[in-house]
A and B are shown apart, each in its own frame.
Chain A
């Protein structure tokens, strides 16, 4: 369990430029969850995600990963192993010249014996469908493949949680869908908790739980459907609507009985099919 207790973080603390990036945030993330953290630029979501990986320690409050305190120097490597982190830019997080060495980087840092590293490489490559690219140079891969290499190299450390800080923001639609599909699969089949940090409304519905950050504060923690059904709240957090809801909204205005908030394309299709079916007198 990742547990944040009243966590705050100041940049340049005790200087004239002091800036509070995170203020008084508390939440709990259980093993096996899929959580989306949504927020605009400067909402503190990246700062918070870096705390979960012990890259920075909270200025106030405590952040615990499976009971280990991220502020405790002795525990930080265990925290980093348990809660792996994937960053936004694939080009500036790949360290090595070949895919397999990249995956071996993390386990190597942990001082794992060579045979075990090779086993972990095989496993990670298989999970990410990257077997073909084992000895390839990361520079020759596409953006989506590079991000998959980055995820594979985190997987090699057998984490319980993977925190992804806007992993799709530099990818094309194909790469983006690849990554999102992979994350869903890792969550469902491997039971790894995913914490997806994003600004895209469309990705808000990837998980079963959503955390909304605004100006350093956690303003919503709960189901995404409930949040988006409440127009006042989304307006207050200045969140946009997913495209499918915008279409449903237009249909509603034209008199089509679309019902309430429409979270997904499948749901919209079902509702429209039901309406048509009633007109034609059969079920579609």
Chain B
């Protein structure tokens, strides 16, 4: 039994590249800015630019491009669904169409400029294709960006960065240290819980439980007797862990020192400057293309 084996999103590949050496806070902010920027763009042609941005960035990560693209595999079905649904359901000029013989239609004139939506007619429209492309590009870019970030930033660095960025919210009562501590413990316990899960599944299979059920509902039912012991186990582990933390003088974030200090370098300032110029240019083109 191997759960979570093929997922590279959220995995960390240690290294010493440009991206690895960047300050995690800068990486996180750049990631957020770029993703927001992608959502502000409304033409898929314009999305090619941020896509190329992340392709170049992945060369700066020192990780093989094929390995990174493998991380996209689990998202492929979503991308396909998004593409197909959008291309079929967007009204517009049909490119490909198929009308079942039994169907009747309210508008018979299909050569007209924009035919009315026909319930029985299955048509791929130009607008739909355009929009489908656009949505899939967006998804691909977001997944690529996120996996690049997690591949080059260790979980501890991510939580440190989040803690440090959330510190701005402390005056309004945001528990920055607590949130970061919870996240890092959650990440640390993923392998432990996976191991528990596998053990429980094996124990139940050895007693005749069937996890190869056909329907989704049956499959979900199979997992109830697995999840209950898993949760009980998790609560017990959490209890033990909190005692072990207390035994080593843990008393919250105040006055705690960290092993690693985050330090911004020329890499971070240079990339931030580049991203700023890049986004400004993109927004300019977007505005420009709209006005014509």
B250 lies within 8 A of A109 (CB): yes
* Bound Cα distance from A84 to B246, whole angstroms: 11
Count of inter-chain pairs, beta carbons less than 8 A: 90
Interface size on B, residues (CB 8 A): 29
Binding stretch for chain B, among A59-67, A99-107, A231-239 = A99-107
Chain B residues 154 to 198 lying within 8 A of chain A, measured CB to CB, are 154-156, 184-185, 187-188, 191-192
Instruction: Report chain B residues within 8 Å CB of A157.
Output: 248-249
Bits for A217-248, please: 1 = Cβ < 8 Å to B, else 0. Answer: 00000000000000000000000000000000
Known: A81-B249, A97-B184, A157-B249. A104 touches B240 (CB 8 A): no
A112 lies within 8 A of B257 (CB): yes
Asked if B244 is an interface residue, CB under 8 A from chain A, the answer is: yes
Instruction: Report chain B residues within 8 Å CB of A47.
Output: none
Asked if B207 is an interface residue, CB under 8 A from chain A, the answer is: no
Q: B231 CB to closest chain A CB, in angstroms?
A: 15
Bits for B247-283, please: 1 = Cβ < 8 Å to A, else 0. Answer: 1111100011111010000000000000000000000
Residue in chain B with minimal CB distance to A89: B240
Specify which of B14, B243, B247, B261 lies most central, judged by the most chain A CB atoms within 10 Å of its CB.
B247
Instruction: Report chain B residues within 8 Å CB of A98.
Output: 154, 156
B155 lies within 8 A of A53 (CB): no
Asked if B241 is an interface residue, CB under 8 A from chain A, the answer is: yes
Residue in chain A with minimal CB distance to B188: A97
A104 lies within 8 A of B259 (CB): yes
> A111: which of B184, B247, B255 is its contact (CB, 8 Å)?
B255
Asked if A153 is an interface residue, CB under 8 A from chain B, the answer is: yes
Asked if B204 is an interface residue, CB under 8 A from chain A, the answer is: no
How many A residues touch the partner, as a band?
Answer: 35 or more
Instruction: Report chain B residues within 8 Å CB of A100.
Output: 259
Q: A123 CB to closest chain B CB, in angstroms?
A: 14
> B259: which of A77, A89, A101, A154 is its contact (CB, 8 Å)?
A101
Interface of B is mostly: helix
Instruction: Report chain A residues within 8 Å CB of B192.
Output: 91, 139
Residue in chain B with minimal CB distance to A156: B248
Asked if B237 is an interface residue, CB under 8 A from chain A, the answer is: yes
Chain A residues 62 to 103 lying within 8 A of chain B, measured CB to CB, are 77, 80-81, 84-85, 87, 89, 91-98, 100-101
Known: A93-B241, A105-B248. A111 touches B156 (CB 8 A): no
> B251: which of A55, A77, A89, A95 is its contact (CB, 8 Å)?
A77
Instruction: Report chain A residues within 8 Å CB of B191.
Output: 137, 139
Residue in chain A with minimal CB distance to B14: A135
Known: A95-B188, A98-B156. A108 touches B256 (CB 8 A): yes
Q: B35 CB to closest chain A CB, in angstroms?
A: 25
Binding stretch for chain B, among A113-121, A206-214, A262-270 = A113-121
Known: A77-B249, A81-B249, A101-B156. A118 touches B240 (CB 8 A): no
Q: A121 CB to closest chain B CB, in angstroms?
A: 8
Instruction: Report chain A residues within 8 Å CB of B188.
Output: 94-97
B256 lies within 8 A of A111 (CB): yes
B248 lies within 8 A of A92 (CB): no
* Bound Cα distance from A259 to B220, whole angstroms: 66
Residue in chain B with minimal CB distance to A163: B247
Q: B252 CB to closest chain A CB, in angstroms?
A: 9
Bits for A27-55, please: 1 = Cβ < 8 Å to B, else 0. Answer: 00000000000000000000000000101
Chain B residues 80 to 129 lying within 8 A of chain A, measured CB to CB, are none
> A92: which of B184, B240, B247 is its contact (CB, 8 Å)?
B240
Residue in chain A with minimal CB distance to B241: A92
Chain B residues proximal to chain A, CB less than 8 Å: 14, 154-156, 184-185, 187-188, 191-192, 236-237, 240-241, 243-251, 255-259, 261
